[in-house]
Amino acid sequence: MKESLVLIGGGGHCKSCIDVIESENRFQIAGILDVPEHQGQEVSGYPVIGVDEDIPQLARTYKYFFITVGHIQSPGFRIEMFSYLNELGVQIPVIISPSAQVSGKAHIGKGTIVMHQAIVNTEARIGVNCILNSGSLVEHESMVGDHCHISTKTVLNGQCRVGSRCFIGSCTVLANNISIPDDTLISAGSVVLRSLIKSGTYIGNPLRKIR
């Protein structure tokens, strides 16, 4: 019998997460928590059963919760909710698509989702509460900190180091041995050939800091 899972956040990222959860076939989605005006609606066929304030009450019935709010500009809500769920003592699973390839020698932190056709190679380490989006590649011995979003088709080559709370935009490429500091946003399609020293927002090829 599959365990029940409550999802937190009912937007577009939630729909993508639902597809991965259904494919993994490990959990039965009990329902979704979203904003009050969405009460009584459905997301991808699953009911909106409450709001965030209902989590303590729901935790008496359900053991597993998963954060399905996305992360583009800021991971703030995901971080706050992750800490809150930990304080409540509920379980926050790792979700891995069956079409993803994750080395048995890699480590994936709790609350992280590895989406369709992503690859996590040998001895890579992914922190907690991360999104490894569809088709992303984290190569051998690379490390991704906590609360990061590695976007679609992004490539982290071997022995890269991405700090916590980072967003790496779609189709960005990091060369071997690149380090990215905490709280950095790299725009889609960028190419990173040198390690970055300062946190901020970067874009382009050649890469430049814009904020």
So what's the pLDDT on residue 40?
Answer: 86
**CA separation for the pair 70, 20 (Å, rounded):** 14
CATH number for the region 94-203 comes to: 2.160.10.10
Residue 180 Cα distances to 103, 135, 161, angstroms:
23, 21, 6
CA angle 83, 88, 94 (to 5 degrees): 65
Looking at the structure, give the CATH architecture of the domain made up of residues 3-93. 3-Layer(aba) Sandwich (3.40)
Per-residue pLDDT of 175-194, as tens digits, reads 999 999 999 999 999 999 99
DSSP 186: E
Where does the chain hold its CATH 3.40.50.20 domain(s)?
3-93
For every one of its 211 residues, what pLDDT tens digit does the chain have, with 9 covering 90 and above? 899 999 999 999 999 999 999 999 999 999 999 999 898 899 999 999 999 999 999 999 999 999 999 987 789 999 999 999 999 999 999 999 999 999 999 999 999 999 999 999 999 999 999 999 999 999 999 999 999 999 999 999 999 999 999 999 999 999 999 999 999 999 999 999 999 999 999 999 999 999 8
- Does pTM surpass 0.85? yes
Q: Among residues 122, 76, 79, which one has the least CA distance to residue 101? A: 122
Phi, psi for 52 (deg, rounded to 5): -55, -35
So what's the pLDDT on residue 71?
Answer: 86
Where does the chain hold its CATH 2.160.10.10 domain(s)?
94-203
Q: Among residues 164, 157, 204, which one has the least CA distance to residue 180? A: 164
So what's the pLDDT on residue 1?
Answer: 82
**CA separation for the pair 129, 148 (Å, rounded):** 7
Count the Cβ atoms, other than its own, within 10 Å of residue 30. Answer: 18
Phi, psi for 157 (deg, rounded to 5): -75, 180
